Amino acid sequence: MTINAAIFACNGPELLASEAVFFRDCNPWGFILFGRNIETPEQVRKLCADLRNTVGRDALIFVDQEGGRVQRLGPPHWRKSPWAYDFGELYRLNKRDALRAIWLNFRMIADDLRSVGITANCAPVLDLPVFGADPIISDRAFSRDPDKMIKMAHACMAGLTAGGIVPVIKHIPGHGRAAVDSHKALPVITESLAELESTDFVPFKALSDAPVAMTAHVVLECVDKAQPITVSKTGFQKIVRQNIGYDGLVMSDDLDMKALHANVMGDGLTTLARKTLAAGCDIVLQCSGQLPDMVKVAKGLKPLAGDALRRAQLADLMAESFEPFNHATALEEYTKLMAQLEPAT
């Protein structure tokens, strides 16, 4: 059966019959979970199995499990992970220990995710925050320095992939200097292409071997003064595919975000889905879990084919194997490394 170029969410902790029918008929490539979908390990495990049963295959299931303030699985059932910024502080004290702590942290996250059936994590954040920008990125980033960011992001990806979790770098080509949160409004970045090439784009170029990337809903005036990268064919092709040279699978950020709706005419989500795929994104992401919204998106979808299908298949393969792991031993080592950040008494 044809697989459609979408990742969808469901509305609650249990799959509704109406959602199951829709997913069966639409056959999206993958699914994503949010806090509203998560209660206990047993419940999440059943939900993941039910979602996969609707499409009859081992579809990737995504989540945002960065740590800090972006962590969908949390206490009391899951360990609270630190902000990326905390690892940056440890890196300032001891580079080797910081990289080891990052690897251990994300290897433990991978273990937690796989144990309930989740196989892809929307991390690491590669956006380089700048002073004066909207705080939507801020402490979610390892560093403001590209070279430090690259080293720590590599450790994050290595920990996830060792645990059979597909990492998703975000938000390509960079959201760190945006003056507004794209959840709420459309950010416009006015810096020159030369400036962006020497800063924002650097981490994405360095990690261009990542299997999946998520777009930033931002306007780059240097390539398209009107359309955000996600729906700008000129901007997407010139910056993401050519300048950054990223040939992995690109998924949009959430189509529900107001940054996209600010300048898209026509039939709302249907038009957005069409424009996103026409611009060059391989997959559209729609997160509301509202069935009427998903139906609108489905009307604008197209089947995975060509390069998009090739990229999707490579991403699927990355979740098929993982290395043996002792969670308790890792936690003990990780705790000792992170203790360096505790104030002296």
Known catalytic residues are: 183, 253
Q: Which residue reads 């090439």 in tokens?
A: 197
What is the C-alpha separation between 73 and 38, in angstroms, rounded?
A: 7
DSSP 8-state assignment for residue 121: E
What is the C-alpha separation between 245 and 239, in angstroms, rounded?
A: 8
Tell me the CA distances in angstroms from 198 to 177, 202, 218, one per residue in order.
Answer: 14, 6, 18
Assess contact for 257 and 170: CB atoms under 8 A: no
∠ Cα 67 156 181 (to 5°): 50
∠ Cα 228 229 233 (to 5°): 110
Tokens of 75: 């206490």
Assess contact for 28 and 55: CB atoms under 8 A: yes
DSSP 8-state assignment for residue 303: B
What is the C-alpha separation between 174 and 112, in angstroms, rounded?
A: 28
Tokens of 68: 């800090």
Nearest by Cα to 142 from 112, 98, 107, 111: 98
